[in-house]
Amino acid sequence: AAAQGALTQAQTTALNPAITTTQIARLNTQLAQAQAAQAAAQAEVASARAAVRQAEAAFNNLTITSPIDGIVTTRSVEPGVVVAPGRILVSVINPNLVYLRGFIPAGDIGRVKVGQAARVYLDSDPDRPLNARVASIDAQASFTPENIYFREDRVRQVFGVRLAIAEPGGFAKPGMPASAEILLQQIQPE
């Protein structure tokens, strides 16, 4: 700004014999240097702003946020460990979306439909049924799960069903043993 002012003053008094051509050239050089310094400073500011944005993005990548409110059931890595993209770090369940996985003999599966009402009885409180509905039925039969202990049950084919518990109320938790009954006359719309 000082160089610009000096140049303007020199140009207005160019007819004055005391101001020589060399003084004007020197002032033009100073003005060009000042403009170059200003451009360099503006480039540094832009670079610093970009570095701040990059640092903020990197910082935001350090925080892992679950897409749902829930409970962590397993943690497969420890804090501070560097992991590859796509690796599962933790497993989270939604305690309000609890289901029972059960099996229906192949001969009875034709009477079960998605949306059908059911009741789930937890072994921990068998006198308090939880309302449920049939959420899904496996498309393909399989052999009875290996944890069935009676020989006549092991040789049958079954279809897996998933019963969605309407209001688990904190009572039903993953892995809890339970039994269920499907109400054959009632089909609820999804």
Kind of pairing between the strands at 99-105 and 157-165: antiparallel
Mean pLDDT confidence for 114-133: 92
CB 101, CB 162: distance < 8 Å:
yes
User: And the tokens for 130?
Assistant: 């939880």
More confident residue, 174 or 180: 180
For residue 6, the 8-state DSSP code is: H
Report the alpha-carbon distance of residue 155 to residue 160 in Å, rounded.
15
Percent of the chain at pLDDT above 90?
A: 32
Encode burial over 153-180: b for 16+ CB neighbours within 10 A, e otherwise: eeeeebbbbbbbbeebeeebeeeeebeb
pLDDT attached to residue 38: 95
Residue 16's SS3 state is coil
Question: Average of pLDDT values for 157-175?
Answer: 84
What mean pLDDT is reported for the chain?
83
The DSSP secondary-structure symbol of 1 reads: -
Average pLDDT, stretch 55-65? 83
pLDDT digits (tens, 9 = 90+) for 11-56: 666 555 555 677 778 888 999 999 999 999 999 999 999 999 999 9
- Closest by alpha carbon to 5, among 22, 25, 30? 30
Please tell me the predicted confidence (pLDDT) of residue 176. Answer: 84
Separation CA 56–CA 113 (nearest Å): 51
User: Which residue intervals of the chain are DSSP H helices?
Assistant: 2-12, 21-60, 151-154
**How far apart, in whole angstroms, are the C-alpha atoms of residue 138 and residue 136?**
7
Say if CB 84 and CB 104 are below 8 A apart: no
Q: Alpha-carbon torsion 37, 38, 42, 48, what sign?
A: positive
Query: Phi and psi dihedrals of 169, rounded to 5?
Result: 55, 25
- Is pLDDT above 90 for 151? no
76-97 pLDDT, tens digit per residue, is 998 888 888 888 999 988 888 8
> What average pLDDT score do residues 68-78 get?
88
* Domains, the chain, ordered by start: 2-60 (no CATH), 69-93 (no CATH), 99-187 (2.40.30.170)
